[in-house]
């Protein structure tokens, strides 16, 4: 893919696009050994060697990780104004800066994908690709077969109709029920709001899968990199081709 030289320099973290233009005009940027002063030049990052002041600059390595977010962490980077803990402290040892793809509520646990690949993130968040998100929801009360049928037909919420791709009873736990719920949308508090309509407020919520990626046995608070196989499956689920 061809990209403008100034954009490439900013993607590499060298400087802003505007300041990159100045570096180019000053003759400090070389492409394949030749000084380039033309601001319109495009390069192919896979083929061309770009240098600033004779030092090669490269795109940051793409990183894809999943975190098992524990309860009581905000899905945000940096410090929170409220003083609540944020996932930042759980991913401090990730060697490059990655960003959460979507959010889990403060008290929701489970699978959170983080990456510095903007294109993949955009596709995952785009409803067009209908990537299923699978949740285990412990709800108050015993969900009857009749209510389960109604849940499957969907219901009106304040921001529009909501219908899960699937909902099933995993087991009864005393006076409560463990449900598996699948939605491909990512509206705010969707699972909690949806289940509350049926008189079964959520006690505990955990996301266990995102498309082909499963949380598995990853302990709470820990992260791991996605395998090449998982990446191939994830890319293909959103219409992209993974090339390592």
Active site residues: 105
- What character string, x for contact with ligand URA (CB under 6 A) and - otherwise, covers 171-210? ------------------xxxx------------x-----
By CB atoms closer than 10 A (0-12, 13-18, 19+), residue 131 is buried
Q: Is 143 in the site for ligand URA (CB under 6 A)?
A: no
> Would you count residue 108 as binding ligand URA (CB under 6 A)?
yes
From the list 21-29, 54-62, 103-111, 157-165, the region that binds ligand URA by CB under 6 A is 103-111
Per-residue burial over 202-222, b if 16 or more Cβ lie within 10 Å, else e, is beebbbbbbbbbebeeeeeee
* Residue 104 in the binding site for ligand URA (CB under 6 A): yes
- With a CB cutoff of 8 Å and minimum separation 6, the contacts of 222 are 67, 68, 90
Distance CA 157, CA 171 (A): 26
At 64, list the tokens: 């894809």
Residue 48 as a binder of ligand URA (CB under 6 A): the answer is no
Q: Please, what is the minimum distance in Å from the beta carbon of residue 70 to ligand URA?
A: 13
Site for ligand URA in 109-128 (CB under 6 A): none
Instruction: Verify binding: residue 105, ligand URA, rule CB under 6 A.
Output: yes
- State in angstroms the smallest separation of the CB of 192 from ligand URA: 4
136 contributes a contact to ligand URA by CB under 6 A: no
Could you tell me the two tokens for 236?
């293909």
Q: Which of 164, 234 has the CB closer to ligand URA?
A: 164
């Amino acid at each position: 893919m061809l990209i403008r030289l100034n954009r490439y320099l900013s993607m590499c973290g060298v400087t802003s696009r505007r300041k990159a233009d100045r570096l180019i005009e000053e003759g400090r940027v070389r492409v394949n050994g030749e000084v380039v002063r033309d601001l319109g030049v495009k390069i192919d990052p896979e083929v061309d060697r770009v240098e600033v002041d004779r030092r090669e600059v490269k795109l940051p390595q793409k990183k894809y990780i999943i975190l098992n977010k524990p309860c009581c962490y905000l899905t945000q980077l940096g410090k929170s104004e409220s003083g609540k803990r944020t996932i930042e402290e759980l991913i401090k040892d990730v060697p490059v800066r990655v960003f959460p793809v979507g959010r889990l509520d403060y008290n929701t646990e489970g699978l959170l994908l983080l990456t510095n690949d903007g294109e993949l993130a955009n596709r995952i968040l785009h409803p067009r690709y209908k990537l299923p998100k699978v949740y285990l929801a412990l709800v108050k009360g015993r969900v009857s077969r009749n209510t389960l049928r109604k849940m499957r037909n969907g219901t009106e919420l304040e921001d529009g109709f909501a219908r899960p791709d699937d909902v099933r009873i995993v087991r009864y736990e005393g006076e409560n029920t463990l449900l598996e719920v699948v939605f491909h949308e990512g509206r705010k508090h969707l699972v909690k709001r949806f289940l509350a309509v049926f008189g079964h407020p959520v006690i505990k919520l955990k996301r266990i899968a995102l498309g082909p990626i499963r949380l598995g046995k990853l302990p709470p608070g820990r992260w791991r990199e996605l395998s090449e196989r998982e990446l191939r499956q994830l890319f293909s689920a959103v219409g992209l081709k993974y090339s390592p």
